[in-house]
A = this chain, B = another copy of it.
Amino acid sequence: MKVTIKDIARMADVSIATVSKVINKKDAKISQETRDRIFKIIKETGYVPNRVASSMITKETKSIGLVIPNIANPFFPEVARGAEDKASEEGYSLILCNTDDDVAKEDAYIAMLQEKMVDGIIFTASSRRLKISESLKHINIPIISLDREIEGLKAQGKITVDNISGAYEAVKYMLDKGYTKVIHLSGPATSMPTKLRIEGYKKALEEFGYKDADVLIFEGDYTSESGYESMEKVINQGIPFDGVFCGNDLIAIGALKALKKNGKIVPYEVGVVGFDDIYLASMIEPELTTVSQPKYLMGYKTAELLIKMLNHSKIETHEEVLKTELIIRDTTK
């Protein structure tokens, strides 16, 4: 039989109220003697306070839902780690939810998290989510959106990265370096980061006097297979290009494979730039020039913002746009 606060109270010959106060450090007015006695018994019995019971009263579970597409996608582990670090610093724990970018799964997880009475949710919306769902609309716990914003969701906060300027800087750099025909291998056009990166790409081209006809975007998803296929297609169709700006590093890696297979020499004949700077980027050969996202920081900041809101119960909308950094390696001249 599990030992409860009652048992401790009985054994220490005090009331359960006293034990409760001691456990929760609300023991300013409890004598040192009593305190010691209680702690001694707690240690002896191996008593573990039942936080489920206290949650009923305090109305907080000290749990946060982390809803992401897929922890096995190399972008997310660091994000998750950042979030978990901040959460645990503040006494919260994280519930991991993988949605596979599936709107139905997202809704199911959100419902589950609500039932489990999490104090808040960190949410990276599906790139397929076009509109906000009913379940999301009526949710009454704080949600911070991470990386991808959702049109229509009045998330109480938002941490994103400056995708436009990240893409812009990358393409500008390529153009500066003398690449003249820079194409873009993008992710799914429905997702917000994709849209923004496309915008940055266009902006740079425009600035260099290119016309709409020079804007060449090949949509895919954010996988290396997709990058490989897009690149093959471009080559096979004989489309002229000497620069490839990729929606993420995985696409870039796929593109690099296709380029190599087709005998195109990187970075001399073709320059390639990725996005994300997953740890892989510096381990492949040639090392990938890429736009680095502060992944750990994104997770950390998001958790920080959420917890801040939880503590101050402010309903103000907060947002922060983190900076990217162009990391120049060996796939560009």
Interface of A toward B, CB cutoff 8 Å:
2, 46, 48-53, 55-56, 61, 63, 66, 70-74, 76-78, 80-81, 84-85, 88, 93-98, 109, 111-112, 114-117, 138, 140, 224, 253, 279-280, 283-285, 296
Contacts and interface: CB of A to CB of B under 8 A. Distances in A.
14 contacts: A2-B140, A48-B114, A49-B115, A50-B115, A52-B52, A52-B55, A72-B77, A72-B80, A81-B98, A84-B96, A88-B98, A94-B95, A95-B95, A285-B285
A231 to B, nearest CB: 15
Given A283-B253, A285-B285, A112 B96 contact: no
A72 B61 contact: no
Contact of A96 (B66, B138, B224): B66
Contact of A51 (B49, B116, B280): B116
A123 to B, nearest CB: 15
Could you say which of A53, A71, A88 has the most chain B C-beta atoms within 10 Å of its C-beta?
A: A71
A109 to B, nearest CB: 8
Q: Considering the complex of A and B, which 7 residue pairs feature the smallest CB-CB distances, nearest first? A: A285-B285, A72-B81, A51-B115, A72-B77, A96-B96, A48-B114, A77-B77
B72 A78 contact: yes
Nearest to A260: B285
Could you say which of A78, A93, A279, A296 has the most chain B C-beta atoms within 10 Å of its C-beta?
A: A93
B117 A51 contact: yes
Contact of A280 (B85, B111, B283): B283
